[in-house]
Amino acid sequence: MIEINKNTTAFSFKLKTQSGHTLLKSVEFEKEEDVQKTVKSLNPLCDNSIRFERKTNHDGMFLFNLKDSSGQIIGYSQLYNSEAGMENGIKNLKNRISSLVNIGEL
């Protein structure tokens, strides 16, 4: 499921599992059209592993960013306790996007 949100100044989206767990939170976009365009680009982006920027924060927690074709960050993950957990999160994100494409939600 993809949830599109609007606050007073911007739009964003969250990509969630079937059970409602957030896999990816987007950065903010000025226009809803930009969110829609980015959502539609998720499938080809996730096919390319170079689009995932793997990071460690100052507390030693792992996270990843998803970048578009121009290298701009379009979304980020939750924090993970281990590198293996982060890699599993990337795998789950790719699988979820693939399943959304298959049922016509992307």
| 21-50 tens-digit pLDDT | 999 999 999 999 999 999 988 888 777 888
Q: How many CA atoms lie within 13 A of 49 on its CB side?
A: 2
Span 87-94, average pLDDT: 94
Q: Is 2 helix (H, G, I), strand (E, B) or coil?
A: strand
The predicted pLDDT at position 106 comes to 61
Domain ranges of the chain: 2-102
> Is 100 in contact with 23 (CB distance < 8 Å)?
no
- pLDDT average, residue stretch 58-66: 96
- The CATH architecture one would assign to domain 2-102 is Roll (2.30)
At residue 81 the predicted structure's pLDDT band, cuts being 50, 70 and 90, is very high
